[in-house]
Amino acid sequence: MKKLNIVKVGGNIIESEDDLNAFLDAFAKIAGPKILIHGGGKAANHLADRLGLEVKMTQGRRITDAETLEVITMVYGGKVSKNIVAGLQSRACNAIGLSGADGNTILSVLRPVREVDFGFVGDVIEVNAKTIDKLINAEITPVFCAITHDGKGQLLNTNADTIACEVARAMSKKYEVTLNYCFEKAGVLQDISDENSVIKEIDKEAYAKLIKNGTIADGMLPKLHNCFYALDGGVQQVRLGKPSMLSEAETNYTTLHL
């Protein structure tokens, strides 16, 4: 099977011009087919603040009312997406910016109201791998923002880590997929204050122990859940670390496997 790299880039990297440029340099140099997924939450918060809109969060997740959805669409699908695509074009990486509505690539359903009403937030139910594959075969790199749709005309805010996981699972039917989560840390750390304490490999047994002893907690819990869900769905390998891990010379990152 042909190899495919799927990369999700974190918001802290997007926020820093220097870090974003370093990431785009590394991503553009990846040989072979690749897909990029990004969010842009902090940029959305900045615009919301300038517009006088309250940013509502619960359980670390954004409450997406109608006004917030407008801001997210402008920022994720507009400013952030087009800046990334333009940056890739300047690095000879032919890319196209997409939401899940474009090409009907990612279909979601509105998250049901249980303890919390998250508003216009979508849970992915289908990824159109055939359309994505057509872009890849045309040597065009898809760049997905964290917006999906419900097939009935409604855009939905969707967690970028989850989109990366679902796209990776769908594409693993045809490709040998490596899913890379690039963020500001060197990987999963044994000690959050020590960048040199990277846990190099984690399997399901080790994962359970790290949750039990509190090493994996807070925001890392949903991220690692997505990682193992991707592996369960046929993804070959999942890696977490700084953008430098996209270089074959880098060895300091976390690899997850079953």
Closest CA to 7 of 186, 206, 177: 177
> CA dihedral defined by 254, 88, 98, 230, rounded to 10 degrees?
-10
Fold type of domain 2-185: Carbamate kinase (3.40.1160)
Q: What's CA 165's distance to the chain center, in Å?
A: 8
Domain ranges of the chain: 2-185
Contact 106, 151 (CB under 8 A): no
Residue 98 three-state SS = strand
Q: Give the integer Cα–Cα distance in Å for 43 and 49.
A: 10
Q: Give the integer Cα–Cα distance in Å for 238 and 44.
A: 28
Task: Give the global pTM.
Answer: 0.95
Structure tokens at 238: 């999942």
Structure tokens at 34: 């690749």
Q: Give the integer Cα–Cα distance in Å for 12 and 14.
A: 5
Q: What is the pLDDT along the chain (258 residues), one digit of tens a residue?
A: 999 999 999 989 999 999 999 999 999 999 999 999 999 888 888 898 999 998 888 766 789 999 999 999 999 999 999 999 999 999 999 999 999 999 999 999 999 998 889 999 999 999 999 999 999 999 999 999 999 999 999 999 999 999 999 999 999 999 999 999 999 999 999 998 898 899 999 999 999 999 999 999 888 888 899 999 999 999 999 999 999 999 888 889 999 998
